[in-house]
């Protein structure tokens, strides 16, 4: 018998779906086709507020191949989809005349080809009655809403803490709207068979899409199947069920044919959310020795007129990041005539860390204390809000290792002191305390007579490596080789799963698979419980280990048998077990659930005459608990860091204040980091397995982005002596 590699967890194997992706055979929703498939193209509002006065579709209807022009006048009635536990769904599309943002869908053309539909869409004439639009976050006419989710925090008395301080920092930081820009255009393919609906969608959460479609069309959820086995990038844009998804299904119903609807790049800027801008005010109080006496952090972010994303808790880091006795945080929404924002990689924490970690840098200079030393002096040994030990925290080790790898202590603290010719050199750093997130999840595992496993769940892989790490986890738990495990994802026919979001999928799905695999081993032991031919009879799961395709006695490895032998003898084709997991409760474990932590160190080069900023080095050390696959985990951190460089230096969705139109809604105008903007990225992992879930993992999906912008902004200050409190850090702000 050949001995297999027992330990597949923690090994940086290649992606199990890499071949499919590299060869182009991975089926993304935009690739799906059906016999008789036709195409829908959307027409968008050219005003930001007001109402539709009239629509003339006659020109469009004359275009050859056009099957239908759908407007509010003739659209089938659909309901607003039911809310998820986390947010309301958007209003049902094409049901009313009022316009609440530029780019709102006002008509849909369905035609035999996408070219015909595109041509006809241009000929739909819409007359509007415009109204005053409020599109700027600093517009005094905008209406504020308190955070409906109550994420505001207080402890102690921050006013007293500020009064008591030797030094106070009081500053405003702003971050702009940014747009989730996965390379793949969002696409939905919808096909009805009577009242049964099949939809292939770009979604991070198939179960939610199914629920929303069933609610919109008044059909049972059991008759709706949503498939998303491959998603491409999401970055949060696929968390919600957007109006175009409902419209694709509506189009298919209207013309009685399967329909494909693929957004254009400009429609990606108005139709699938964006990171909301923030205006943050931060006050820090400290004693001369650097001890924080108070943190006050207020933030306002935009929301749409009639649509709410979950409020992004921008200020959370200020209540959990440091051991400060007096803290007040507050998040508000401000209603604007803009497309609804949604989560974008590192929601809330990305913007909030920019504010807080820059303010701490300002405090460090004010006190004459090294910025890293200041963070060490205020290290939160326990969760400062829950007053419980963290389930895991190795942030101190992140700081120490990061400083060593970067060469932080060679830094001359004096701003503008490090220079090479015309290049000003700056070193900056930031700490990251990311939120914790886990959701209930289910999974199913089968082992067949070939000794192969099929493990599945409705969860998605949005390029994060879920197929790969869940294959590794399943193989480890079941004692199989990686190539003996097949993973099924992205199909609502499979056991229910939460969104691939909030960096929570590895903990959520991993815990469910851990449970399913344990139950499957128990099912095999049940099978042979009274089987006198089995060396495993009468044993429980605790008595055995799974290794080399077999179960064997923990205390006697020779006593055991393979899955195949058990199935053969009992004449069964296979054996299946379900598993599920719900997040643990802090009070039950006596632990505060920890998200991942990180330390980031940036070196920037600034052209002394032109103000051109480039990132020369970025060193990251992450504590994300147990790392299931260092290769895919590192890939997540690198990808996030590239997004962070974009956030720091380039990304900004610009809305024209007069019309509410997004003026840079193309890849030519909306700048994202490209290879030339990205230096070699140094990534290390530290820390112990987390104690809050049985797999020991924390998320790696988002923390790669968080803290990059403040580390770079702080490095720019060190290089130039100029403090920029508004992202992105463009050269006009330095001149």
**Residue 145 CA, distance from chain mean position:** 24
- Choice between 236 and 339, CB closer to ligand MOS: 236
Q: 599 has which bridge partners?
A: 431, 621
How far apart are CB 347 and ligand MOS at their closest, in Å? 5
Rounded CA separation 374/368 (Å): 10
CB of 342 closer than 8 Å to CB of 312: no
- Choice between 175 and 343, CB closer to ligand MOS: 343
Strand 105-111 and strand 38-44: the pairing is antiparallel
- Choice between 233 and 611, CB closer to ligand MOS: 233
How far apart are CB 379 and ligand MOS at their closest, in Å? 27
The DSSP output letter for 543 is: G
Residues 348-377 that bind ligand MOS (CB under 6 A): none
Report if residue 344 touches ligand MOS, rule: CB under 6 A. Answer: yes
- Choice between 335 and 345, CB closer to ligand MOS: 345
The residue range among 8-16, 169-177, 340-348, 661-669 that interacts with ligand MOS, by the rule CB under 6 A, is 340-348
Residue from 91, 276, 347, 451 binding ligand MOS (CB under 6 A): 347
The DSSP output letter for 272 is: S
Q: Which residue has the tokens 């032991």?
A: 525
How far apart are CB 234 and ligand MOS at their closest, in Å? 5
The DSSP output letter for 542 is: G
The residue range among 291-299, 341-349, 621-629, 663-671 that interacts with ligand MOS, by the rule CB under 6 A, is 341-349
How far apart are CB 602 and ligand MOS at their closest, in Å? 23
* Pick from 135, 268, 279: nearest CA to 726: 279
Tokens of 500: 């691939």
- Choice between 344 and 594, CB closer to ligand MOS: 344
How far apart are CB 239 and ligand MOS at their closest, in Å? 6
**Which of 561, 603, 651, 702 is flagged as catalytic?**
702
* Pick from 579, 449, 482: nearest CA to 521: 579
> What mask of x and - would describe binding to ligand MOS in positions 672 to 701, judged by CB under 6 A?
------------------------------
Q: 485 has which bridge partners?
A: 453
- Choice between 252 and 350, CB closer to ligand MOS: 350
> Contacts with ligand MOS: how many residues (CB under 6 A)?
11
* Pick from 314, 317, 328: nearest CA to 276: 314
| Cβ-closest position to ligand MOS | 236
How far apart are CB 451 and ligand MOS at their closest, in Å? 36
* Pick from 625, 645, 606, 600: nearest CA to 690: 625
Residue from 343, 492, 635, 693 binding ligand MOS (CB under 6 A): 343
Using H for helix, E for strand and C for coil, what is the string for 629-693? CHHHHHHHHHHHHHHHHHHHHCCCCCECCCCCCECCCCCCCCCCCCHHHCCCEEEEEECCCCCCC
* Pick from 437, 449, 431, 259: nearest CA to 343: 437
CB of 386 closer than 8 Å to CB of 585: no
Residues 204-263 that bind ligand MOS (CB under 6 A): 204, 234-236, 239
Tokens of 114: 């996408």
**Active-site residue flag, 587:** no
Tokens of 476: 């480890």
How far apart are CB 10 and ligand MOS at their closest, in Å? 25
How far apart are CB 390 and ligand MOS at their closest, in Å? 22
- Choice between 345 and 634, CB closer to ligand MOS: 345
- Choice between 344 and 536, CB closer to ligand MOS: 344
Rounded CA separation 567/562 (Å): 9
Residues 478-507 that bind ligand MOS (CB under 6 A): 501-502
Residues 6+ apart with CB under 8 A from 368: none
Q: Tell me the residue length of the chain.
A: 735
Report if residue 84 touches ligand MOS, rule: CB under 6 A. Answer: no
* Pick from 225, 193, 195: nearest CA to 209: 225
Strand 419-420 and strand 574-581: the pairing is unpaired
Catalytic residue numbers read: 702
Q: What are the residues binding ligand MOS (CB under 6 A)?
A: 204, 234-236, 239, 343-345, 347, 501-502
């Amino acid at each position: 018998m050949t001995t297999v590699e027992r330990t597949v967890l923690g090994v940086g194997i290649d992606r199990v779906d890499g071949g499919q992706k590299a060869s182009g055979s991975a089926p993304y929703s935009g690739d799906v086709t059906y016999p008789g498939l036709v195409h829908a193209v959307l027409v968008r509002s050219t005003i930001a507020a007001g109402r539709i006065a009239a629509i003339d579709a006659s020109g469009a209807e004359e275009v050859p191949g056009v099957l239908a022009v759908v407007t509010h006048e003739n659209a089938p009635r659909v309901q607003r989809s039911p809310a998820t536990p986390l947010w309301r769904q958007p209003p049902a599309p094409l049901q009313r005349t009022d316009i609440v943002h530029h780019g709102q869908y006002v008509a849909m053309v369905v035609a035999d080809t996408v070219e015909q539909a595109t041509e006809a869409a241009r000929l739909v004439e819409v007359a509007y009655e415009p109204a005053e639009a409020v599109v700027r976050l600093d517009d005094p006419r905008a209406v504020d809403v308190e955070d409906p989710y109550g994420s505001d925090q207080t402890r102690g008395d921050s006013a007293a803490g500020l009064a008591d301080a030797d030094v106070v920092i009081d500053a405003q930081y702003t971050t702009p709207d940014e747009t989730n820009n996965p390379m793949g255009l969002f696409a939905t393919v919808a096909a009805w068979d009577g009242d049964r609906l099949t939809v292939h969608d770009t979604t991070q959460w198939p179960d939610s899409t199914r629920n929303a479609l069933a609610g919109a069309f008044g059909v049972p959820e059991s008759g709706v199947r949503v498939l998303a086995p491959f998603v491409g990038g999401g970055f949060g844009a696929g968390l919600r069920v957007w109006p175009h998804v409902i419209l694709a299904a509506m189009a298919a119903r209207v013309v009685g044919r399967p329909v494909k609807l693929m957004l254009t790049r400009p429609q990606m800027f108005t139709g699938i959310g964006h990171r909301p801008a923030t205006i943050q005010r931060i006050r820090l109080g400290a004693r001369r020795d650097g001890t924080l006496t108070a943190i006050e952090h207020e933030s306002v972010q935009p929301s749409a007129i009639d649509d709410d994303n979950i409020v992004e808790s921008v200020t959370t880091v200020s209540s959990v990041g440091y051991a400060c006795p007096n803290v007040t945080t507050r998040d508000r929404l401000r209603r604007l005539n803009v497309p609804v924002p949604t989560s974008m990689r590192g929601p809330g924490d990305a913007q909030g860390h920019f504010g807080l970690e820059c303010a701490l840098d300002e405090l460090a200079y004010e006190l004459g204390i090294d910025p890293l030393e200041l963070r060490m002096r205020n290290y939160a040994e326990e969760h400062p809000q829950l007053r419980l030990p963290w389930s895991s925290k190795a942030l101190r080790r992140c700081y120490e290792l990061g400083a060593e790898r970067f060469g932080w202590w060679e830094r001359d603290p004096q701003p503008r002191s490090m220079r090479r010719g015309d290049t000003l050199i700056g070193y900056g750093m930031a700490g990251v305390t990311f939120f914790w997130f886990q959701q209930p999840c289910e999974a199913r595992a089968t082992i067949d007579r070939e000794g192969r496993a099929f493990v599945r769940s409705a969860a998605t892989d949005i390029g994060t490596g879920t197929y790969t790490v869940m294959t590794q986890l399943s193989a480890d738990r079941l004692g199989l080789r990686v190539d003996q495990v097949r993973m099924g994802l992205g199909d609502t026919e499979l056991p229910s799963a939460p969104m691939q979001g909030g960096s929570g999928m590895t903990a959520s799905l991993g815990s469910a698979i851990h449970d399913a695999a344990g139950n499957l081993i128990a099912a095999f032991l049940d099978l042979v419980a009274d089987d006198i031919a089995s060396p495993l009879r009468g044993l429980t799961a605790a008595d055995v280990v799974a290794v080399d395709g077999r179960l064997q006695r923990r205390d006697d490895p020779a006593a055991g048998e393979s899955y195949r032998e058990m199935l053969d003898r009992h004449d069964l084709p296979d054996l299946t077990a379900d598993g599920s997991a719900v997040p643990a409760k802090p009070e039950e474990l006596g632990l505060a659930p920890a998200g991942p932590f990180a330390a980031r160190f940036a070196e920037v080069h600034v052209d002394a005459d032109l103000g051109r900023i480039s990132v020369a080095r970025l060193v990251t050390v992450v504590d994300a608990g147990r790392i299931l696959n260092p290769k895919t985990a590192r890939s997540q951190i690198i990808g996030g860091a590239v997004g962070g460089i974009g956030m720091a230096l380039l990304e900004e969705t610009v809305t024209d204040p007069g019309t509410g139109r997004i003026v840079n809604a193309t890849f030519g105008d909306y700048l994202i980091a490209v290879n030339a903007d990205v230096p070699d990225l140094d990534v290390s992992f530290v820390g112990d397995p987390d104690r809050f879930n049985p797999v020991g993992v924390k998320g790696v999906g988002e923390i790669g982005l968080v803290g990059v912008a403040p580390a770079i902004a702080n490095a720019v200050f060190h290089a130039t002596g100029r403090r920029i409190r508004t992202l992105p850090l463009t050269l006009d702000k330095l001149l």
